[in-house]
Structure 1
Amino acid sequence: MTKIRNKEQLVEAAARVFEEKGYAATRIEDIAAELGVMQGSLYYHVGSKAALHRLVVQHHLRLLVAGLTAIVEGPAEPAEKLRLAILGHLTHVEQHLLEASGWFSDPTSSADITEQETAEHRDMVLRYRACWARIVEEGIARREIAADTDATAVAISLVSMCDYVSYWFRRDGDKRIEEIAALQHQIVWSGIAAQHAG
């Protein structure tokens, strides 16, 4: 038997098991086996499977925020940033398909969730939306996006659109994730682009 070195090791192991089995089919002993520890050792670090899953969700949200921040702060034009942002989100969804559908769900439905966990989840979602809004705001400032566009509303819509792909996308379907991302980009950009931008 090994020891759990830190919470990061626990979260990474749980993420692998949730991805392989899905949340519903995963047992706490499956995660213990992945770590090579006794089941009781997990409860020293986390109180329940649901609490552990929330840590995994936060892990994925941090990855999404970091990836999108890099795009936002990069040198690309707004249209290209939007394309990269959509593709980045959907690629992450495809890589973690079995668990992705819960990332943006309201966490307060969990009976044992703490106020701190709720606040952390809300803050991460708001940070992610703000990154999308910055792309739209940059496009407005550069007159590539229509001046009357509500950046916040577009950002919320973009997150919802990308998030919902996790509910219906299938790896063995007739569309690759790159094709879906390209289609979504075309739909969104054609709806918000300034007329002179084409």
Structure 2
Amino acid sequence: MAIKSMNTMTNEKALERLKMDRDLCNFNPMTGEEEPMNEDCREMADALDVAIKFLEQGFCEDAVSREYILDKIHSENDMEKIENSNLFALHYANLVKNAPSITPTFNKWHLVKDELPNKCSYVNITCRSLIDTRPDWVVETCYVPQYPSSPYSDWGNIPMLNDGECEVIAWMYRNIPEPYKPER
């Protein structure tokens, strides 16, 4: 039963619950003061503050792929030569710093020639006609790379793309709204 309730919990409900728990940790029932009862309560309140800040922050553009970092570490022969753990930590930190972000960035156009979206991502695309001088236009679609033999483009079943009459020049992640829920 607890699993079901966690699956239906929204970020707002989770934030509300975390804040309530934090307030309880910051209250000493013995004195009635807003001061943690002991060090364990203080640490719990601090941990809850971190979780609250994380949920309030939303998307983090600094997220990187663990797979990318591990591949880099394993592909570099000189890693075996590093005996000092401080040098390894510095090298690892540099790998993380220079890794490309995997977190979707919303409200920013990305040129197709520079990068492509994550697979199965919902995106807006800017299309440019290859057959006439009409202005560029925007289409909502899902990016799904196709096999070379597929009659469809990577950008969905868009007739002008499939017929070679237009090209995708830029894309942007799009926010998918929550499903409709009737008011009670």
| TM-score range relative to shorter protein | under 0.3
- 1 or 2, which has the higher helix percentage? 1
Give the number of the structure whose residues are more often strand, by fraction. Answer: 2
TM-score between the two structures when normalised by the length of structure 2 = 0.23
With a CA cutoff of 8 Å and minimum separation of 6, indicate the structure with the bigger relative contact order: 1
Larger Rg over CA atoms: 2
